[in-house]
Amino acid sequence: MVSTIVTDTKRAAGRGAKSGSTGSNGHRKNGSKGGGGGRRDGGDGDGGKRDGRDENFSPVRYRIGIWMAIAAITTMFAALTLVYVLRSQSGGWRSLQLPHVLWLSTALILASSFTAEKAKRFLKRGKEKLYRMWLSVTLLLGLGFLAGQLIAWSQLRAQGVFLALNPHSSFFYMLTGGHALHLFGGIAALCYLLWGYRTRRSLAEDKYYAARREAAADTSVIYWHFMDALWVGLFVLLIWG
């Protein structure tokens, strides 16, 4: 009877050991699977970027950046304008006879705003050829404006009007030169829109790059309109002086 009890006890112990082993193995398997799942989830968490793309891209970033740049440029020219007005009311101020070519330059930059807007609208409609055509016209008009500025400066120099001749001539070269320098930024943006994205022609149907190009075109046109308005304000100021 004692031997029977001992035998039953050994059998019960054996079954308990098997059950514990199975539970332990099951726990390890589940843990291994859970750990593997954690690694796979962590592998996808790359900050929203895949293949160098920002999946969280938003055109708002472009707009914020361009408006910050416009605010900085406006502040600078507003300060120069204030100094110009105060200096024009003091002694030693002699008004200049502005070259007539500046009227042509003004007409060119006004026309360029119209063509830039046309280009942006054709891009949104998906009309690639018309978009590039109007953008090219905008670029040519912008270069024509700069050529007109160079002609005006050369005519003034031919008349003996230099930077240090009098306060008005100093402000004329400073204001027109500063505007031309900032306009180069707009021309660089137009060049990039025309040729920078040609390297991705095979990705024309890619929504990511299409969205980026449209945002870049939109902000470039905003900047171009600002350069147009800024020049009109400066031109009126120079005529008034």
Q: Which domains does the chain show, CATH number per domain? A: 59-240 (1.20.120.80)
Per-residue HEC secondary structure of 137-201 comes to HHHHHHHHHHHHHHHHHHHHHHCCCCCCCCHHHHHHHHHHHHHHHHHHHHHHHHHHHHHHHHHHH
Residue 41 structure tokens: 């989830």
Dihedral sign from CA coordinates of 45, 51, 55, 57: positive
Q: Is residue 17 very low, low, confident or very high in pLDDT (cuts 50, 70, 90)?
A: very low
Read off the pLDDT of each residue in 111-120 and give the average, rounded to a whole number: 96
Percent above pLDDT 90 for the chain: 52
pLDDT of 83 > 70? The answer is yes
pLDDT tens digits for range 125-136: 989 899 999 999
CA–CA gap between residue 157 and residue 165 (Å, rounded): 11
Of the listed ranges 40-44, 189-193, 199-203, 207-211, the one predicted with least confidence: 40-44
First-to-last alpha carbon distance for the chain, in angstroms, is: 126
pLDDT tens digits for range 197-206: 665 544 445 6
pLDDT tens digits for range 180-197: 999 999 999 999 999 876
Read off the pLDDT of each residue in 110-136 and give the average, rounded to a whole number: 94
Say what the pLDDT of residue 16 is.
47
Say what the pLDDT of residue 233 is.
96
Residue 90 structure tokens: 């003091």
Distances (CA, A) of 83 to 87, 167, 181, 198: 6, 11, 20, 45
Query: What are the φ/ψ torsions at residue 50 (nearest 5 degrees)?
Result: -140, 130
Burial of 142-167, coded b for 16+ CB within 10 Å and e otherwise, reads bebbbebbeebbeebeeeebeeebbb
CA–CA gap between residue 100 and residue 78 (Å, rounded): 25
pLDDT of 156 > 60? The answer is yes
Residue 43 structure tokens: 């592998």
CA–CA gap between residue 241 and residue 226 (Å, rounded): 23
